Amino acid sequence: MKRARGGGDEEAPRQNGSAGRRKGDQQQSDGDDGDSTFGPADLQDDDNDPGLRREIRSKYRDLINSVQQNREDMLSPSNNKLTEVLEQANKLFKDVRQAREAALDAQLLVVATDLGKEKASQLFAEGTAFDPTAFAEHLLSFMGLNRLEDGEDEQNGVDGYLPQDAWHRVARRAECCFRTAPSFHYMMGSFHAEPPPPKQRIERQRKAPSKEAKRIMPTQLKKMEESHQEATEKEVERILGYLKSYYQDDPTSPISYYEFVIDPTSFSRTVENIFHTSFLIRDGLARMYLDNAKLPCIAPVEEGEVEAGGSCTRKQCIISISPKTWKELIDAFDIRDTMIHPPNTE
C-alpha cells in the first residue's frame, strides 16, 4: 500500500510540472506580445514548481554521495573539496522552500561536520611535534634580542638580554587579535580638577540618660521578671496539688513519672509539665525513685520531711524528649488521658 501511494505521489508532480511549464511558456509568449511584469504570483509559482523542487533535492543527494564516496580524499590536508561542497550547499540553500529540502541540507551538514571533525583531529595529531624551544627563539628574535651585546649588558647591570620595549612589541602585535574598548577622550579637552578638601568630622556629644530613664527601665524589667516568676510559681503549686491528690487517693500505689507528666494530646504541654515538675524535685517538695520494674516513679514529700536548704544529697540531670520519643512513651504506657489538666480547662 505504501509503494502504491508513493507511485501516485510521483506521478502527480510530473503532471503538475508539465502544467507549470506550459503555464510558464504561456506567460513567456504573453510577455513577448507586450510589456512583461514580474509579481508575487510568479515567485509563488517558482516555490511550488515540482520540477525545480526535484532538481534541488537531486543536487543535495549528489553532494551527500560525493562526500561519502570521496571521504578518504577529503581527509587529506591539501584537499579543499570539502570547502567547495559547503559553498555549493550554501548556494542551494537559497532556493530551499520545503521541509524535505531542509532535511537534506541538514543531513549534508551532519556528514560534512563529521568529516571536518575527523580532519581537524588529524591536523592536531600532526601538530603534536611543536617545538617550544624553536618557538621561544622566534619570539625572542621578534622582541629584538641582540646576543652580541650579552656581555656588555651583564657588565652594565642590565636585567636580561632584551631591550626595554621588547614586551611592548609583543603587545602591539597581539592587540589586533583582541577586541578592546575605545579609549575615553574629552570632547572639550581634559581638565584636572582638584579633589575636594576632606570634611572635618564633628563628634557629637552623647546625651547622658536622664534620671527618669534610669529609674523606669529597671522597673519595667523587674515587673516582667516578677510576672514570669509568679506564673511559674503558680503552675508549680498547681502541679503539686495534683500530685498530692493522686497520692492521697491511693498511697500504696506508686505514681508513674511518665504517666504523670505526659499529655497524650500535646507535646508542648508535656515539655511544660516536665519543666515545672523539676522545680518540685529541686525544692524537695517531691521525690523520684525506681519501682520493682526499674521505672521512675514520683511521690510528694510529707511536710515534716521537707528541710529548708536541703541537707540531704540530691542528684540532678538533664533529660531530653523528642516528638518521636513522646509518641513511643504514649504507646508503651498506654496513656489515654493526661493527669495534669491544662489551666484553661479547670
- Whole-number average pLDDT of the chain: 76
The pLDDT score that the predictor gives to residue 311 is 52
pLDDT tens digit string along 280-317?
888 888 888 888 888 999 999 887 665 544 555 667 77
Amino acid at 73: D
Tell me the three cell numbers of residue 223: 515587673
Q: Are strands 296-300 and 255-256 parallel, antiparallel or unpaired?
A: antiparallel
Positive or negative: CA dihedral 301, 307, 310, 312:
negative
Higher local confidence (pLDDT), 321 or 146: 321
**Under DSSP, is residue 14 helix (H, G, I), strand (E, B) or coil?**
helix
Structure-block grid coordinates of residue 227: 510576672
Phi, psi of 130 (to 5 degrees): -65, 130
* pLDDT bracket for residue 58 (50, 70, 90): very high
User: Shortest CA distance to 84 belongs to which of 53, 118, 112?
Assistant: 112
* Whether the predicted pLDDT of 77 surpasses 60: yes
pLDDT at 282 (0 to 100): 86
The grid cell for 248 is 492521697
Inter-residue contact 287 to 260 (CB < 8 Å): no
- Gap between the Cα atoms of 304 and 81, Å rounded: 114
Residue 325 Cα distances to 260, 267, 270, 278, 342, angstroms: 16, 10, 12, 19, 21
Q: If pLDDT is split at 50, 70 and 90, which confidence band does 325 have?
A: very high
Q: In angstroms, rounded to a whole number, what is the distance separating the alpha carbons of residues 321 and 9?
A: 81
> Could you tell me the pLDDT band of residue 45, with boundaries at 50, 70 and 90?
low
275: nearest Cα among 337, 319, 212: 319
pLDDT for 221-261, tens place per residue? 555 555 667 778 888 888 999 999 998 988 888 899 999 99
